[in-house]
Structure 1
């Protein structure tokens, strides 16, 4: 039976080896159709493809020892790869970008650099990566078919996307240059699904491990689902599966999703 609605989701696992039970429990309960994963922190051979196949998901992945790593999952299908790695710098070998067709949607899964400490070379790399992303995304946003960018952007877009803006004002995630780069991306025509649905209401996707921030809902919104105009016109809902974050030994992120009318 053809799907009338697609659920697109992004989830930073903070280590797929340690969080595989959380991932499988979430897939079984929420049944997303399209999933972007970040921070696998595992080499390619350690990716749990068999467990995911048993759960009903096909996968593409690009691992990296100890750091980074991204994957795309398709419910009931194997994603059809279109690009591996963000163009613009052939010297960049970090596993942060994977692109594929899944259920009629061209999906870009990203893990944008954190950028801390700033200022410094890691912050410079973040801004360079965002500029490369914007150049590539410009060629995606106006395509005549549905396109989504899903991932951990490591960007707090505005002060309403953080529980305490003053506490984070020196962090790379909310520097003016980073926010302007995100605004530039949205200005191409992308729709920020979560903010569109929630309006001015606070909604968070990440809670650090300190002082019971998850339990107290003192979080940040740094995981985003961006939709091009073709896909955005079918936006039906969006949310955060915070229950995953509240599990024992969970990732510090929660799955973030949007539901859209199937193309």
Structure 2
């Protein structure tokens, strides 16, 4: 089973890129972030033509997450992260698909730091920790995929000294990510490629992609049951070089059958 995550940076604006990638890569399950569309404008029909059913949690102009499947029916289990009933951001959706519990998330950026946006990021991260603590020990494979907006280590960012004041590299945020791993989650990319330079995001300007001046901020975490089935993990860099593409590249894993 191939499971991927992709911050599309606009599901409708980047639809030609998204459908081209889906048609060539054919992942079984896909987590999408930054839909930037209300629920009634999510492009379910063209995705259905490629064989994908979908559940989504949209928001006009901002945020938005979705789970796509061509590997079986999607049984949605949660929409929105618990812990703050007043939080109106569409950043989390969870579903059971093909015997795997899939969570798709888009963690807040948090810039500028310090400030209200950074405070919101830390609160959201704390809510995520609380919720994932209830999923880590499940006796079933659990996959938490998405744009975490955190570079966990200096290996995950080009020229880390330039990012010391950024919310994506703040010590508090990196510590929060580390505490997630301490719950028993495995960072799939780092587990299989501990020393390799791997990025998932490149800014649009100054030839960042061509120079490989990137960041690794899109992650797939696995509970112990899923980690035992991990066969491969990587990044599809090619779509990042396409015309009118997202500034992120898809990240994927392959799980062996049960």
How far is the alpha carbon of 1:262 from its aligned partner? Answer: 2.5
Match of 1:3 in 2: none
How far is the alpha carbon of 1:239 from its aligned partner? Answer: 0.5
Whether the 8 Å CA contact 2:110–2:119 is kept in 1: the answer is yes
* Unaligned ranges ≥5, structure 2: none
Out of 223, 228, 232, the position equivalent to 2:227 is 232
Could you report, residue by residue, the CA deviation over 1:97-149 in whole angstroms, capped at 9, with x for unpaired residues? 00001111001100000000000010000000000000000000100001010
Asked if residue 127 in structure 1 is aligned to residue 122 in structure 2, the reply is yes
Out of 80, 85, 88, the position equivalent to 1:90 is 85
How far is the alpha carbon of 1:180 from its aligned partner? Answer: 0.4
Asked if residue 118 in structure 1 is aligned to residue 89 in structure 2, the reply is no
CA RMSD of aligned residues (A): 0.8
* Unaligned ranges ≥5, structure 1: 1-5
Match of 1:60 in 2: 55
Match of 1:257 in 2: 252
2:144 counterpart SS class: strand
Match of 2:24 in 1: 29
TM-score by length of 2: 0.99
TM-score by length of 1: 0.97
Match of 1:160 in 2: 155
How far is the alpha carbon of 1:11 from its aligned partner? Answer: 0.3
Larger CA deviation: 186-195 vs 73-82: 73-82
Match of 1:145 in 2: 140
Match of 2:69 in 1: 74
Asked if residue 210 in structure 1 is aligned to residue 188 in structure 2, the reply is no
Structure 2 CA distance, aligned partners of 1:9 and 1:170?
30
Whether the 8 Å CA contact 2:142–2:226 is kept in 1: the answer is yes
Match of 2:192 in 1: 197
Structure 1 CA distance, aligned partners of 2:21 and 2:85?
36
Could you report, residue by residue, the CA deviation over 1:37-75 in whole angstroms, capped at 9, with x for unpaired residues? 000000111111110110010100011010000000011
- Give runs of aligned pairs for residues 90-109 of structure 1, distance below 5 A: 90-109=85-104
Structure 1 CA distance, aligned partners of 2:65 and 2:23?
21
Whether the 8 Å CA contact 1:116–1:172 is kept in 2: the answer is yes
Whether the 8 Å CA contact 1:57–1:77 is kept in 2: the answer is no
Whether the 8 Å CA contact 2:80–2:92 is kept in 1: the answer is yes
Whether the 8 Å CA contact 1:60–1:78 is kept in 2: the answer is no
Structure 2 CA distance, aligned partners of 1:120 and 1:221?
24
How far is the alpha carbon of 1:78 from its aligned partner? Answer: 3.6
Whether the 8 Å CA contact 2:110–2:117 is kept in 1: the answer is yes
1:122 counterpart SS class: helix
Out of 181, 184, 188, the position equivalent to 2:179 is 184
